[in-house]
Chain A
C-alpha cells in the first residue's frame, strides 16, 4: 500500500529524516514510534505531500505518490484545528469537498459517522461552542469522511477520555477489517500494544527498529515468569530450591503474593507450575513479556548511548 524508500529530509543544517525505509501493507495498523523531535511529524508530512523529501521515494499503491493520491488518504495531524465560526456540517462538507467528495456523498458519510459517534444533534452547532473532546471527534470524523484507503493519525488519542479512546480504537480495528491501512504516530504505548500489528521506531531521524509487536516482544523477553498466589511465602521459596531463582516479590496483603521468577537449568514453565501447585494456591501465572514502553525506552537509550560513544571516539 505504502512504500518508503530511503526517504531523507534536511532543514538547513538539521537532519530531520535520514534514509528511512518501511512499508505498510494493506489491512494493517502500523505504529510509528519515537521520542519528541525524532522526525515522525516530518515523515508524516512527507507522506501527505505537505513537504517533499530531498532524497528517496514514497510510493502509494505502487505509484510514485503525488497530490492526486491524497484523495485516498485521511490525515489527522497532531497540531489540529478547525475554523471556529463554521458549523460542524459546513466544516465537514468543506473538508470533504477538498478531498474530492460531492455534497451528496459527504452528507451521506456524515450521517453515518454522526450516528456512529452518537452526535447527530451537533450538525448545526458552531465549532467554537464544542468542547475539546467534541471538537476532536469532529476532527476524527473529518479525516475519515471520504473513506480513505490509508489513514494517517498523529497522536490520535491525546485529549480523549478513556471512553472515547476505546471508541476510536474500536473504529480503527473495524476499518482495518474492511481492508484499510492505518499509520499511527503515538506515545500511547498501551494503544500500540492493543491495536498495532507492527511498529517502526524512529530515533534521531533514523529508523532503529521495525517489526511485528509480538515478534519484538518475543525477541526481547527476559525469561521471567510471573505468579500470583495465596499461601505460605516460606514454603514457596523452599520449593523453588535450586531450579528457579526468585527475582522479585511483592506482598499483596491477606497472605497473597506476586512474584517474578527466572527458570534455571532445563526447567520449564510447566515444571515451575507443578512445584508451585504443591505449595500454594495459584491465582495466575504468565510469561513476562517486555511492554512496548520497555522496548521503546530500551532501544532509545541504547541508541543514544551508542551514538554518544561513537561520537566520543
Chain B
C-alpha cells in the first residue's frame, strides 16, 4: 500500500504541474459559467426589438394595447386595411417587423392573424401573443358581454384536473430538477472521460518508455495499477474542487449582480410562461446543493474507479499507442450510452429499464444523479445505497480483473491486441 501511495503521489504531482491541468482548471469553470450565463441570459432578456403595426379598421383597440410599456415591442396603429403584399413591399412599411390584422369579425370568430417578415423568437411571439390577446379579451369582455375584465377572466380560467404523484403531492420534483441531475451526471462522465484518457496515456507512456520494468521490480502490478488510478483520481478531485469553487463563486456573483432582479414580481413578464425564471430559480433556490454534491462525490469516485480500471487495462494490453484507439471506441460508446441512459431515465422515470439503469454500474453514476435530483420517494432511499454498493463491488471486481491484465500485459510491447489474448490474460493469474 505504501508503494501505491508513492506511485499515486508521483502521478498527482506530475498532473498538477502539467500545463494542461492548469489550463483545464482555468478554462473549465469559465466555460461552465459561460454556458450557465447564456442559458440564463438567452432564456431571459429579449434581444430582438420589434415594431408591430396593428391594422385596426374598426378602431376596436382604440389605439391602446397594454397598460405598461414593453421595451422590446413598439406598437403602432393604422385605422385601415393593409394588404399583405403592400405590407411586404411598400417602403412606407419597411420599419415594421409584423402586421396584426384586426377586423370587425373578431368579436364573433375570435381569430386574428399576425404576419411577420422574419420569424420571431419564441419569447417575442409569446410576448406579442400575450399582449394582443389580453387587449382582445378586454374588448370582448367589455364590449360584447358587458362584463368586468375580472369576471371575464375568472370565467375564462379553465377547469383543470392535475395529475400528481401520490408520494409527491406538491410536485416539488419537477423535471427541471432532473435536468440538473443529468447535468451533474454528465459532469461525472466528462471527468471520467478526461481522466480515463489520462490514465490510458500514462500507462501507454510507461510501457513505451520501458520505465514499467523498473517499477515492476519494486511494486506489484496491482499496487502500480491502484497507485496510478488513485494518483490521477486525486488530480481529478483537485481539478473538480477548483471547478466547484470557481463555479459557485461565479453563481454567487451572478446572483448578486446580473440576475438579481429576476424574481422581482414587478417585472412585466413575470406572469408569463418563461424558461429562464424557472431555471434561475431552480439553480439558486430549488437545488439543495449540499446533499447533491455529497451524492455526486460518492458516485464520482466510484464511477471513476470503475471506469478507470477499464482505461488502465486498455493501456496495459495495448501493444502500441495507436493500438489502443480501436478498443477505445467501444469504451467511449459505453460512456455515451451511459449519458443517454440518464436522459432516458429523465424522460421515463418509472420505466423498468430505468430501474435496470439505476443499478447497472456502467450507467448508475449518471442515472442516480438524475433520480436523486428528481427526489427518491420516501422510504426508498435504500435504492441509492444499494446502487452505490453495487457500483463499489463492481469497481472492486473490475479492478482485480484489471490487475490481471496489468500483470500479463504490461511487459508486452509491439503486439496487436486481440480479444483472444485479452481473454487468455484474464484467465491467467
Contact = CB atoms under 8 A, between A and B. Distances in A.
A50 B14 contact: no
Contacts of B413: 79
Interface stretch (A27-35, A82-90, A259-267): A82-90
Interface in A130-165: 142-143
Contacts of A56: none
Nearest to B213: A77
A98 B215 contact: yes
Contact of B218 (A79, A85, A95): A95
Contacts of B213: 45, 50, 77, 79-81
Nearest to B428: A12
Contact of B217 (A12, A50, A79, A83): A50
Contact of B211 (A48, A67, A82, A99): A82
Nearest to A44: B217
A67 B6 contact: no
Nearest to B410: A50
B219 interface: yes
B135 interface: no
A88 to B, nearest CB: 14
B211 A73 contact: no
Interface in A9-24: 12
Interface in A28-84: 45, 48-51, 67, 70, 73, 75, 77, 79-84
A289 B411 CA distance: 40
A82 B209 contact: yes
Interface string B1-30: 001001100100010001000000000000
Contacts of A50: 213, 216-217, 411
A86 B209 CA distance: 13
B214 A95 contact: yes
Interface in A74-114: 75, 77, 79-86, 94-95, 97-99
Nearest to A94: B10
A81 B205 CA distance: 10
Contacts of A70: 217-218
Contacts of A143: 214
A84 B219 CA distance: 20
Given A70-B217, A85-B14, A86-B14, A98 B211 contact: no
A98 B209 contact: no
B217 A49 contact: yes
A76 to B, nearest CB: 8
B210 interface: yes
A65 to B, nearest CB: 12
Q: Which of B10, B213, B214, B217 has the most CB of A within 10 A?
A: B217
Contacts of B206: 81
Interface string A280-300: 000000000000000000000
Contacts of A79: 210, 213, 413
Nearest to A51: B411
B277 interface: no
Contacts of B14: 83, 85-86
B215 to A, nearest CB: 7
A153 to B, nearest CB: 12
Interface string B170-187: 000000000000000000
Contacts of B220: 67
Contact of B6 (A12, A75, A97): A97
A45 B212 CA distance: 12
Contacts of A83: 10, 14, 209, 211
Q: Which of A12, A50, A80 has the most CB of B within 10 A?
A: A50
B8 to A, nearest CB: 12
B218 A99 contact: yes
Contacts of B219: 98
B199 to A, nearest CB: 15
5 contacts: A49-B217, A79-B213, A80-B210, A82-B211, A85-B18
Given A51-B411, A67-B220, A82-B209, 17 more contacts: A12-B424, A45-B213, A45-B411, A77-B214, A80-B213, A81-B206, A81-B209, A83-B10, A83-B211, A85-B14, A85-B18, A86-B10, A94-B10, A95-B214, A97-B6, A98-B6, A99-B218
